[in-house]
Structures are given as structure tokens and as C-alpha cells.
Amino acid sequence: MRYEIVDAFTDKLFSGNPAGVCFLDVWLPDDILQKIAAENNLSETAFLVRRDGYYELRWFTPILEVDLCGHATLASAFALFHGEEKAACEIRFQTMSGMLAVTREDDLLYLNFPSRPVRPCPIYQTFTDAMGIIPLAAYYAEDFLLLLDSEETLRRIKPDFLLLKRIKSEAGLKSDNFGVIVTAKGNDCDFVSRFFAPNVGVDEDPVTGRAHCSLIPFWSEKLNQVEMTARQLSNRGGTLLCRDQGERVKIGGKAVQYLSGEIHV
């Protein structure tokens, strides 16, 4: 099968978030998809099957399938816009989170994703034990969101990921399909974040589109802004252009191709 690696939410190689993109004619068994994702050993591998007018899209970490992934969707769209869909301005994907669309404006790609507003939750002891900080506040939707006092505090965090995995038990969650977002007001952008997801096999994700489904409505309300610029402060780093559209969010970024080749199964 055709295989590409695309660095998403960046305009230069070796930054942003690398995603694998696999092009299938028909769906392979789930255990084979999972083994391919484990072999690729990227935070996400996307699998695509073409249908009439759209693509079916699924996302796998090295250990499980997830219900929503931004950077691997952006990577998939980038590969298609530079391949089969050169003439298209929009590509639609049928996913576990419904129909998603990616549009392009010059070299910028924009995800149209569901908004996931957070609600307050306890500041669990696991957060303090694992990260050595006491958040200003804690929230939850499909992922946890921790508000910190500054960008400097956010940069300094060095989580104990084994301890952090215990949040599933302390919070009484049934699924491993969640992460922990930490966020603060940005020094030279509107807001910054990091994303930790050891329960899905990704200790720190470099740039996380799905996290911004919660971050955008959260910061839009706090800042009283509809349009915002965000940065994810992982080692690789990435920039996201954000727009709150009510029940949907718009997440923009660039991407670059790193690799193209074949997988033999």
C-alpha cells in the first residue's frame, strides 16, 4: 500500500507533528491496521479508503484506535491535495466523529471539527503528583484541560507519565481514549498548550488538533475573541490558526511531506 509521512502544523521539516498516511483499496482487518500503526510507531497513523465523493478515515496510535485526530487528518488532506485531489478545494472524511472537512486556501489547510466545550472538574491529586504543579482550575470534556498561571510554568512541566496514567482510575474513566491538556495565556500568541496522553501510548503529542476542539471555545470565551493564534510548546512545536464557530471549530495550519513509499503486508 502507498504510505506517506507528513509533518503537520508546520512549514518546515522536523517540526510540527508527523503522521503516517496509508492509502487502502479496501479495509484490512483491524488487527492488521493496529500492527501497521505499531510498526510505524508515530503518535498517529491514518488509514484511508476512497468512496464516492468522500474518504473513510480511521486513526490509530501504536496501541489503540482513537475517535478523533487533527494532525493526521491534516496530513491526510495534504497528501490528497498533492495527489489524487489536486483540483479540489475541499476534501470530506467520514470518521468515528462524523463527517469532517478540510479546505485549502493557498498553502494553508483548515480543519472543520466539532467543538468540545469543557466543564469544571476536580483538581485531582494525580495531576499534582505527576506534574508537580497545582493548576488554577481543571476541566473535562473528552480530554482533561488544566489552566496554568503562565507560559513559563507550562514550559517547565516534566510529567511522570506512569503516575499520570493513574488519572483514569482516580477520575473513574472507563476508556483509555483521552489525554490531558495543559494551557496558559501566551506571551506572543493568544494561548499556548501541551498535550499528554500516556493512556493511548503517546506520552507527549507534538501538536494536537483534537485538543483545540476544547481549547478554542475555552479561550474564545476567556479572551472574548473569535479568531486566535495558538502554539503548542512541545520540543517539535507547532502553530495553529483558530476560529470559534459555535458548534464547530476551524483549525488551520501548514504541512510538509517527509516520506513517501510502500508498505508490504
- Tens-digit pLDDT profile for residues 97-149: 999 999 999 889 999 999 999 999 999 999 999 999 999 999 999 999 999 99
Task: Write down the pTM of the prediction.
Answer: 0.96
Domain boundaries, the chain: 2-112+251-262, 119-246
Beta bridge partners of 249: 113, 244
**119-246 falls under which CATH superfamily?**
Diaminopimelate Epimerase; Chain A, domain 1 (3.10.310.10)
Write down the catalytic residue from 4, 44, 151, 204: 44
The reply to whether CATH 3.10.310.10 applies to domain 2-112+251-262 is yes
Which residue bears the cell 506512569?
162
Residue with cell 522536523: 14
Q: pLDDT digits over 60-108, tens only?
A: 999 999 999 999 999 999 999 999 999 999 999 999 999 999 999 988 9
Is 44 an annotated catalytic residue? yes
Decide: helix, strand or coil at residue 73: helix
Query: Distance (Å, rounded) from C-alpha 20 to C-alpha 40?
Result: 7
Q: What is the DSSP string of 130-167?
A: HHS---SEEEESSSEEEE-S-HHHHHH----HHHHTTH
Tens of pLDDT, residues 197-231: 999 999 999 999 999 999 999 999 999 999 999 99
Whether 119-246 and 2-112+251-262 are alike in CATH topology: the answer is yes
Closest residue by Cα to residue 250 from 89, 83, 148, 101: 101
pLDDT at 217: 98
- Distance in angstroms (rounded) separating the CA atoms of residues 60 and 47: 8
Q: Report the distance separating Cα 231 and Cα 237, nearest Å.
A: 7
